[in-house]
Amino acid sequence: MTQAMLDDLWRDFPKTATEFEARFATEEDCRAYWIEARWGGEPSCARCQSARVWTIREGTTFECADCGHQTSLTSGTLLEKTHKPLKMWFRAIFEISTRRTGISAKDLQRIMGFGSYKTAWSWLHKLRAAMVRSDSDPLGPFVQLDEALVGGKGGPHKELVLVAAEANGRVRLAHVENNDKDTVKRFADGQMAADAHVTTDGHAGYDEKSLGKRGHDAVIQTKAERRESDAVQGCHWTISLLKRWLIGTHGGAVRDKHLQAYLGEFAFRHNRRKTNGVGRIAARVIESLAAKPPLTMRQIIHDTQRCRWFASNQQAPA
């Protein structure tokens, strides 16, 4: 989808609850918006890409006139096999887009009237998956890099997170096993521009082997010096906000194998903290829901690799 098409989508997305109820009053309204987000308004066959299709099954499926293949509105997307109407999904997207700190599964269950907590929990994980993309621009030109322990109250129960922050700009976070040089290198190569200039503390894992040919300032400071002028203030600020968000919105109840998904949502929100309008956030989420492949409940629960950082899966918040 082109940027111009995405701009049209966000401009068309309601900004208030009253506007939302009027704009998406029917399921047909939501289908039309979804078709615009997924196909640019012109549905095509998933098998042969022919644009000669017609609707069947009350507008929920398209049949190809050339090969006969049938494509549902949500097949091949993050909403594949959903049994809920698009209007409910759009309502959930509106809720997460209008709340600066997001929403917990318990609150979403209450607002949406779901019979089970598990449904709300799985919906939020699919929406978080839509907030992460593999084509985001790398960080630069000036980047701060640091690490933090987040999670449980006791040291053994905390999880290690790498944090990279542009000066007054975007952030990237990764849940990692350790912060050795190989891990830092995978993170840096996946998230920082090759010509970025990196500022770190004096940790031994930050050197030419891990950061490559990027410019590097290793700044060792005392607590008093940090209070006066913190060399990695952007990272420390991000870490503080992250910990408050995990506790305030989610009660700190985030399992380690799902932490990366929450880090993705936090970064997505943080990187859009200055965005003008709910529509931009909602349109991006819907566009990603339509563009990304299915995510099953089994994958959400058991696929822990998607919640760790690997060179083959370097994705960043959209």
Residue 304 confidence (pLDDT) above 70:
no
Q: Is the pLDDT of residue 154 over 80?
A: no
Q: What pLDDT does residue 128 have? A: 95
pLDDT > 70: percent of the chain? 93
User: What domains are defined for the chain?
Assistant: 3-42+74-130 (no CATH), 142-274 (3.30.420.10)
The answer to whether residue 279 scores a pLDDT higher than 90 is no
Average pLDDT over residues 194-215: 96
Q: Is the pLDDT of residue 310 over 50?
A: no
**Alpha-carbon torsion, ordered 246, 276, 3, 103, to 10 deg:** 30
Residues in the chain: 318
Q: Higher model confidence: residue 224 or residue 213? A: 213
**Confidence check: pLDDT of 27 > 90:** yes
Asked if pLDDT for residue 308 goes beyond 60, the answer is no
Mean pLDDT value across the chain: 90
Q: Please compute the mean of the pLDDT values over residues 219-239 and round it to a whole number.
A: 87
The Cβ-side half-sphere exposure at 218, using a 13 Å CA radius, reads 9
Q: What sign does the dihedral 279-97-171-290 (CA atoms) show? A: negative
